Structure 1
Amino acid sequence: MRSTENQRQSVPAGGGTAFPHLFAPTRIGPMRLRNRVMAPPHSSAIGNLWGTEEEAERNFAYWRSRVSDGGPAWVGGVTGRVRNRLIPGFEPHGYGAETTGYFRQPFYVERVGRFVEEMHSAGAVVTTQLTLLGGVPHAPSTRRSSTLYNFRPHVLNTDEIAEFVEEYRFSAAQARRAGLDGIELHLNHDDMLEWFLSPMTNQRDDAYGGSLENRARFAVEVLTAVREEIGDSMALGVRFNLREEEPGGYTAADGVEIAQYLESTGLVDFLHAVIGSPWGDPSYIQPYFYRPAQWADLAGELRRAVSLPVVHTGRINSVQVAEQVLADGNADVVGMARALIADGDILGKARGGRLGDIRPCVGGNDCISRRYVEKLPFGCAVNPHTGNEVEGPWRRAAHPRRVLVVGGGPAGMELAALTAKSGHTVELWEATDRLGGQLRAAVNAPFQEQMGRYLEWQERRLANAGVRVVLDERATADSVLAADFDVVAVATGATPRRPAEIEGVDQDHFVHDIRDVLHGTVAVGRAVLVVAQDDHLPPLMVADHLSERGHDVTVVYPTAGPAPLLGRYILGGMLGRLSARGVVFRFMEDVVGIGEERIRLRHTYSHRESELGAFDSVVLACGGDADSALYDDLRGRVSDLHVLGDAFAPRRLVAATRQAYALAGELRK
């Protein structure tokens, strides 16, 4: 222990709030925290802190909106890439393979200093991570952490290790000059330092390999250099995996031993204990099909084995879950990221007893996949305001009007709520007896409780906004025209797609749509073929649903791999689940014929045909076709007519809410 200031403080029970543990102040090293919530780095996709002034201001605005009014006490929001030292001309590959490093930016001290001042003025402390990914190209040995990536690494020699230690020292000095409150050494998630720590990737036979003391030597040398640079003026911690997921990696018991060894150095003030890799099962950004705080017990075991404060991050997706983790003694501080993305005022609403107003995160990871897989602008599926904080509060309409929204799916609900918030008088007509559209089918898939909560939240939101919701109202051109609204927005969704080019696709007793399967309105036999003509989650979702119920499932994709639009932070976990249940995948094959005795396939590229044996049922996960009939009938007959959501072109929840946000903004003018 460095001093008594570093000793963990107990989390008090009781108090004047429904979340006494969550809102109890504490101290970690020199950092005083007003509550027990840390916001780990997650804003790089929202606004580039290292980009133009305009890009940086978007980042600033996001964090201001989250930290103000008693938000998270601790912003770990400054991502810190250490310079990647390379020979001239070498070009690293992949995500995270920056060469210059953020700490070497000429404006680093000035820009981060401004950010720190803003966060301090709002009552939050700010830390940065020191990160450098393994294998791009540097590594302790030739053994890589995954067979998914086959670029061969450069094995560091001892002189190069010493040079990197000095690079970390320089980075720490820059962080100190910028006024940051602390530094978190990244020792996990495929970081180079984790590769040295891991017995799987570290096969060295010198002073940096073999025993735990040797494997941790590089990290301890970095910690020593950083501590020498910052003294006691800043907190210093380590973020590390509680265990490694790959065979040959260290176990949970080894993780406790690692934590105890790091504590024994007297160099660190806190331990940030997490689970996952950037690509495996689980990912360190766990999607919806893991339980909330699933690994908190492991963090608790570690906490009981050390004296340092323990931070735990990992699918802590609500204030109730956060409070429970703290109350159970599994952490001293909890990390929350996507819950803050979904609702920036989550802590303020919890403190004020307005739990029903908290916008729930659905855990679909579109906030990650859009930016890093599809190269689209950042977007939160449930909160289209996120990333647009720089525009200020939502404004009232210059000329309030009467607005009709036709269709109560995600696009229609979001548009109705936003236009009502703008001051318009709004009606929402839905053809069925419930709001939600196709999401009503999705909620029946495994682990989709949060989607159900999101729909309930939207219904409360519409009621509170004063939207008149009319159910069982199938709009026609005549009924819309007779109602004489100033603005009509058509969000009638999509119809299930049955690919006409597949012979035998119309056998209704045998071939079923994914929506009917998830709703449970059709009987599905034991052996099921899933026709996957959807680049996102639905084919995997229905395979999960059926295999959980004991069906033998085969999924046929025409693409070279599953779900091309799912990123590494979500795909691995789902594939691991399905593999464990024996789900069979076939790739680069189109289903061209469906019969009760055989399925005909055609290779995507060679066009060679083959056959599969009999299945009891076939499920079509083939997306939908836009249902724009009402919009087509009204064109030229309504002066202010709009179409959005799947009625324009079928996409996902995040596309629907973003289109609604954009249209609602236009209707304010």
Structure 2
Amino acid sequence: MFPYPNLFQSGQIGTLEISNRIVFAATSSELADGEGLVTDEMVEFYAERARGGTGLIVVEATYVDQQGKRLKHNAMLHDDGCIPGMTRLVDAVHEAGAKIAIQINHGGRESVPEVSGSVPLAPSALPSGYTGVGAAVLPRELTIAEIEGIVGRFADAAVRARTAGFDAVEIHGAHGYLVGQFLSPICNTREDRYGHDNAGRAQFGVELVAAIKARTGADYPVIFRMNARDHAPGGLELDAALESAVLFAAAGADAISVSGGMHASRPYMIIPGMATEHACYADCSAAMKERLDIPVMTVGRINTPDLAEDVLARGDADYICLSRGLIADPYFAAKAKADQAAQIAPCIACNECIANVHLHTGLACTVNPMVSRELALKPILTRQVTPRRLAVIGGGAAGMAAATTAAKRGHMVHLFEKAARLGGQLNLAHQPPHREEIESLLNYFRAEVARLGIEVSLDVDPAPDEIDADALIVAIGAEAVAADVPGADLVDVLYGWRVLAGTDKSGQNCVVVGGGLVGVEVADMLAVQGRDVVLIARTELLRKAVHVDKVHYLDRVDTLGIEVMTHTQVIEIRPGEIVLQPQGRLRRTLQGIDSIIYCTGYHKREAEAVRYQALDIPVHFVGDVLGSRKFFQAIQEGTLAALEI
């Protein structure tokens, strides 16, 4: 008996039989070439998730029309030249044991002129409220003839998909792209047959389903992915979504895949962050199941087999769509089936994955540095090596990533940590409100260190002459940048990391200096504790933050009543006072201040690190010892260093 009987029950979508209820949701990989053709890296990315036991792979949004393209390396289905590469992709996934569908899409007003080469098209000439990719571009309203032409191009793309061997197609009607724009009252103000009321707004989707079925055959499965809620004022809500889903099913859709959010949503719900509840769309898929006689899929912060099993056992959905969970660990399904759930690398919803896609640097992952580089790196990870003795100094994220990767390759690893426990900054990062998910990564690394039999020495900071190894990885981290303004030595300045650790206790009236993520997290935590907080940023707030974090914390700052002063420098600190210089304004002195908390970054422990350079063995430096890093960068560096041993 499998530990997750519902999750590993076979299922059927139309004529398509699927071995289990785990679906890899369509996810932009940015691995196609500049022409939108399949690359070897793209094939391996999907094949790896198929090898991991996933039942159905849904390939990322592929464009039916060059005018609808959004990202530089989106795959395409608008030309027959794509078919050979797509066939190669299908064959690789089938050989690995999974079924494969492909999502077809048009970006509509979210298309990017620099990528598509044309002005965005939309149901109505209303701009997106998104402040990221393709922001503030006014689209042109589609004519009826143009709409009919796009319906035909969706059908053409579906024919190419079937020709290439895909087992099904999925219409992308979610997340505020063209199909979703037709469905949403805040995007579609038309008064013709494609608007006016809910049935009219659903008409475009109905015609898509009917046209695809007419061209590919009634037996060819069509999945319709759609929003249950737009999460935007005046947008699509669940009742209207239910009515539309019934119409799509009547037109011939074989399954409905439930999601939500659009790029202008607050909170950002297309790819929900850590603050969002788990299984956040399960209530919507449950409502869909009550109205429909076809399978319903759900998605949204389902990152463990237990969560997935619970959703299925309650009858809230028929299939579980995972995106980030299968990015973090392609073998999610296989490990769950083998009752090894504790070995699944956890998605922590940090959203570095999509942040890198939007930067056009390719899909990436904090907890899985192999993502997008499976073709190059997995052979190194699995290659037989002559076991060597490796010392790793520093048991934070970079050090544990290095140690566990090296141990998996067969090396004998000794991990040193000068503190009393492993984790480094991971021990602090999960302390602020809504960052609790990070603790799952900490627990995963600690469990892997134990499972792999890595020798661990805590409360030890070895000198160079105490290192007895064939190679060394130095991951000793960084230390907080000290307050360097007049008067800082005359008052008891606190530091963000010590506040997070609970070793520094603040008073009632607090000033937090630092507008990066740590500063905002500390301000958030203090405000939740009932403190009065002023937050000082030298530039704009959260300038380098991932979009979903920026949206979340800007809203939190308003909700919690935190006073924010951007583009402001600290001039002087006095007992109970802080003197500030806002850009372009008069100096301001805040009085009655009980605590000043500095969160202005970290600098590398260069003096401590340099002493290891003289050793007559290979020495690698990773993580914050090279300069302030995110966990994403630190884990990447630790892993790559271990692959070089």
TM-score, normalisation: structure 1: 0.88
> CA separation in 1, counterparts of 2:306 and 2:489?
47
Name the structure 1 match of 2:476: 492
RMSD (Å), alpha carbons: 2.5
Q: 2:122 aligns with which of 134, 139, 144?
A: 139
Equivalences for residues 85-234 of structure 1 within 5 A: 85=67, 96=70, 102-135=76-109, 136=111, 137-146=120-129, 148=131, 149-234=135-220
In the alignment, which of 406, 426, 437 is matched to residue 413 of structure 2? 426
Matched, 1:453 2:432: no
Amino acid in the other structure paired with 1:565: K
Q: Which residue of 2 aligns with 1:588?
A: 567
Given candidates 575, 578, 596, the residue that maps to 2:554 is 575
Task: Please say if residues 372 and 567 of structure 1, whose CA atoms lie closer than 8 Å, have aligned partners that are also in contact.
Answer: no
CA distance in 2, matches of 1:446, 1:134: 36
- Tell me, what secondary structure is at the counterpart of 2:62? coil
Report the Cα distance in structure 2 between the residues aligned to 1:37 and 1:643, rounded to whole angstroms.
39
Q: How does 1:148-547 map to 2 (within 5 A)?
A: 148=131, 149-263=135-249, 265-280=250-265, 281-373=267-359, 375-376=360-361, 378-391=363-376, 392-393=378-379, 394-395=381-382, 398-476=385-463, 480-500=464-484, 502-506=485-489, 509=492, 511-534=493-516, 537-547=517-527
Corresponding residue for residue 117 of structure 2:
none
Q: Secondary structure at the match of 2:372?
A: coil
For residue 209 of structure 1, report the CA deviation from its aligned partner: 2.1
Q: 1:63 aligns with which of 46, 54, 63?
A: 46
Specify the SS of the correspondent of 2:252.
Answer: coil
C-alpha displacement of 1:614: 4.2
More deviation, 383-392/324-333: 383-392
Name the amino acid aligned to 1:528.
C
Q: Deviations over 1:207-249 (max 9, x none)?
A: 2221112222222222222221112232112111111211111
For 1:39, the equivalent position in structure 2 comes to: 24
Gaps of 5+ in 2: 112-119
SS class of match (1:460): helix
Aligned partners of 2:561, 2:639: CA distance in 1, in Å? 42
The whole-number CA distance in structure 2 between the counterparts of 1:499 and 1:121 is 59
Asked whether the 8 Å contact 2:35–2:73 carries over to 1, the reply is no
Using the TM superposition, give the Cα deviation of residue 120 of structure 1 relative to its aligned residue in structure 2, in angstroms.
1.9
State the Cα distance separating 1:506 from its structure 2 match.
Answer: 4.2
Could you tell me how far apart the structure 2 residues matched to 1:308 and 1:401 are?
A: 56
**Offset at 1:461?**
1.6
Instruction: State which of 602, 607, 620 in structure 1 corresponds to 2:598.
Output: 620
Counterpart-to-counterpart distance in 1, 2:245 and 2:527: 39
Cα deviation, residue 161, structure 1:
1.5
The CA distance in 1 between the partners of 2:338 and 2:382, in whole Å, is 24
SS of the residue corresponding to residue 75 of structure 1 reads strand
| Rounded Cα–Cα distance in structure 1 between residues aligned with 2:609 and 2:159 | 61
How far off is 1:326 after superposition?
Answer: 0.8
Partner letter of residue 570 of structure 2?
V
Question: How far is 1:98 from its partner?
Answer: 6.8
Among residues 571, 589, 599, which one is paired with 2:578 in the alignment? 599
Q: 1:541 to 1:48 in 2, by over 3 A?
A: farther
- 463-472 vs 102-111, which moves further: 102-111
Alpha-carbon distance between aligned partners in 2 of 1:165 and 1:124, rounded to the nearest angstrom: 29
SS of aligned partner of 1:634: coil
- Cα gap change, 1:549/1:75 in structure 2, threshold over 3 Å: closer, same or farther? same
Q: Which amino acid aligns with 1:138?
A: L
**Cα distance in 1, alignment partners of residues 466 and 127 from structure 2:** 67
Q: Tell me the secondary structure at the aligned position of residue 437 of structure 2.
A: helix
The CA deviation string for residues 309-365 of structure 1, in whole angstroms up to 9 with x for no partner, is: 110011111111111111111110010111111111111111111122222122211
- Does the aligned pair in 1 maintain the 2:106–2:178 contact within 8 Å? yes
Distance 2:309 2:189 in 1: 41
AA aligned to 1:546 is: L
Q: Distance in 2 between matches of 1:134 and 1:463?
A: 50
SS of match in other structure, 2:533: strand
With over 3 angstroms needed to count, the CA separation of the structure-2 counterparts of 1:637 and 1:218, relative to structure 1, is: closer
**Structure 1 residues 397-406 or 429-438, which shifts more?**
397-406
Displacement after TM superposition at 1:656 (Å): 1.2
Identical counterparts, % of pairs: 29
1:287 positional shift = 1.8
1:18 is aligned with what amino acid?
P
Give the AA of the match of 1:618. Answer: I
- Distance in 1 between the 2:32 and 2:72 partners? 14
Aligned to 2:609: 631
- Shift in alpha-carbon separation, 1:255–1:506, aligned structure 2, 3 A: farther
Change (3 A) 1:417 1:302: same
Change beyond 3 A, Cα 1:179–1:397? closer
Whole-angstrom CA distance in 2 between matches of 1:446 and 1:543: 10
| Counterpart contact for 1:533–1:623, Cα < 8 Å | no
Q: Distance in 2 between matches of 1:174 and 1:257?
A: 30
- Alpha carbons of 1:420 and 1:611: their partners in 2 closer, same or farther (altered >3 Å)? same
Structure 2 Cα separation of the partners of residues 203 and 43 of structure 1: 29
**Which amino acid is the alignment partner of residue 246 of structure 1?**
A
Structure 1: tracts of 5 or more residues without a match: 1-15, 86-91
User: d(CA) in 2 for partners of 1:569 and 1:660?
Assistant: 26
| TM-score between both structures, scaled by the size of structure 2 | 0.91
Residues 497-533 of structure 1 deviation map (CA, whole Å, 9 limit, x = unaligned)? 1241x33444653x32111111122222333322225
Aligned twin of 1:75:
57
Pair 1:482–1:236, CA change in 2 (3 A): closer
Q: Deviations over 1:454-505 (max 9, x none)?
A: 22221222223232100011233xxx314433322221100111241x3344
Structure 1 contact 236–268 (Cα < 8 Å) conserved: yes
Please tell me whether the aligned partners of residues 24 and 56 of structure 2 are also in contact (alpha carbons under 8 angstroms). Answer: yes
Indicate the SS of the match to 1:304: helix
Name the CA distance, whole Å, in 2 between partners of 1:498 and 1:514.
Answer: 11
> d(CA) in 2 for partners of 1:301 and 1:504?
61
- Separation in structure 1 between the aligned mates of residue 243 and residue 591 of structure 2, nearest angstrom: 52
- Equivalent-residue separation in structure 2 for 1:147 and 1:365 (angstroms): 17
Task: Give the deviation of 1:51 after TM superposition.
Answer: 6.0
The one-letter code matched in structure 2 to 1:203 is: T
Structure 2 residue matching 1:102: 3-state secondary structure? coil
CA 1:81–1:584 in 2, change beyond 3 Å: closer, same or farther?
farther
